Amino acid sequence: MSDRLRLMCVHAHPDDESSKGAATMARYVDEGHEVLVVSCTGGERGEVLNPRLKNDVHILRDLVQVRRDEMAAARAVLGVQHTWLGFVDSGLPEGDPPPPLPEGCFALEPLAVTTEALVREIRRFRPHVVTTYDENGGYPHPDHIMCHDVSMAAVVAAGDPQAFPHAGPAWQPLKVYYNQTFSRARIEAFHEALTALGEESPYHEWLENWSRPDRTVTTRVECSAWFERRDAALLAHATQIDPDGTWFRVPRAVQQEVWPTEDFEAALSFVPIAEGEDDLFAGLPTDVAAADALATGGSLTIVHDTRTERTP
């Protein structure tokens, strides 16, 4: 495999990068590739989810800065590059009916504005591969759904020299994947492993109420040796994760044995997606200059396209 191919991972909030694809990113960094995390929002409307930090006045006084500091710590653990797209967290509207989204939030920004911001970043970093969320957001938070919409609009626009001409020279990412680590099959495997160990599984209710349809996983990246880094990055987001919660209930050694991969769904690609793919860079030229030439050559044809409408 070639060195220094470039991977961009687009996420909605700081901490999403550490729970979705983090071990894969750490592996690619260690193998000499460049990895950039883009956080669309600053996570301004997040709550303190760690019971040990709930009433910390220092944290409550400036949660926004605390989350910036946490992201910097996670970035250092994973060894990735990081940039803020600069939009404001929409918050998760709760209630029946849900309240309207707050004015000025990411999910209410005009798509042309948010898309241009990401196009600028794509043309600057020049990723060969981009990851984002599926059309349902992977999780029904308005920022996760918008993260998908912006990512898909931007990967197409970035390669079009007519689109956003002031945002830099055209660059076509060659493959786009959706994070699909949170599959029913994986949670079931953990549930069964815990039960077999005679331990209480926290997943019973989650599985009983599972309503999301199964997705097509095209690509499984073996990254079990990086699970420790993934967990350390997640814990760096100290306000956002309960260290005694369900995240850490499955012993790492069990995870490494039962489900040693992080999983992805190829959504759009200009190179073929092979059956049983195990590498996000598979199918690309092994020489970086050749891959760069492909991304700027302007004579590309889509050969894999499973983009679909959002389910209502």
Sequence ranges of the binding site: 13, 16, 144
Q: Which two tokens stand for residue 220?
A: 């499984």
- Note every long-range contact of 157-161, with CB atoms under 8 Å and residues 24 or more positions apart, other chains counting: 157/115, 157/119, 158/118, 158/119, 158/122, 158/123, 159/295, 159/300, 161/298
Q: Give the residue closest to Zn ion by C-beta.
A: 13
Pick the closer one to Zn ion by CB: 90 or 219. Answer: 90
Q: Which of residues 12 and 35 has its CB atom nearest to Zn ion in the complex?
A: 12
Q: Which stretch binds Zn ion (CB under 5 A): 13-21, 34-42, 46-54, 57-65?
A: 13-21
Beta carbon nearer to Zn ion, 91 or 285: 91
What x-and-dash track marks residues 291-310 binding Zn ion by CB under 5 A?
A: --------------------
Cα 190 to Cα 34, 202, 257, distances in angstroms: 32, 10, 10
Query: Could you say which of 8, 12, 37, 295 contacts Zn ion (CB under 5 A)?
Result: 12
Q: Which stretch binds Zn ion (CB under 5 A): 14-22, 23-31, 111-119, 163-171?
A: 14-22
CB of 177 to Zn ion, least distance (A): 18
Binding residues for Zn(2+): 13, 16, 144
Task: In angstroms, give the least distance from the CB of 150 to Zn ion.
Answer: 14
Binding window for Zn ion (CB under 5 A); candidates: 9-17, 58-66, 91-99, 206-214: 9-17
Report yes or no: 239 and 44 within 8 Å, Cβ to Cβ.
Answer: no
Considering the complex, state which of residue 139 and residue 248 has its C-beta at the smaller distance from Zn ion: 139
Indicate the residue among 12 and 117 with the shorter CB distance to Zn ion.
Answer: 12
- Shortest separation between residue 104's beta carbon and Zn ion, angstroms: 18
Q: How far is the CB of 134 from Zn ion (least distance, A)?
A: 14
Contact flag: residue 89 with Zn ion (CB under 5 A): no
Site for Zn ion in 15-74 (CB under 5 A): 16
Furthest CA-CA distance within the chain = 60
Of 188 and 242, nearer to Zn ion (C-beta) is 242
Residue 136 to residue 276: CA distance in whole angstroms: 24
Q: How far is the CB of 271 from Zn ion (least distance, A)?
A: 30
Nearest approach in angstroms of CB 225 to Zn ion is 26
In contact, 271 and 33? CB cutoff 8 Å: no
Contact call for residue 241 and Zn ion (CB under 5 A): no
How many chain residues interact with Zn ion (CB under 5 A)? 3
Give the nearest distance from C-beta 249 to Zn ion in angstroms: 21
In the complex with Zn ion, the residue whose CB is nearer, 47 or 278, is 47
Q: Does 13 bind Zn ion (CB under 5 A)?
A: yes
- Say how far apart CA 241 and CA 245 lie, in whole Å: 8
Stretch that binds Zn ion, among 12-20, 196-204, 239-247, 281-289 (CB under 5 A): 12-20
Contact 170, 159 (CB under 8 A): yes
Residues in the chain: 312
> Which residues of the shown chain bind Zn ion in the complex (CB under 5 A)?
12-13, 16
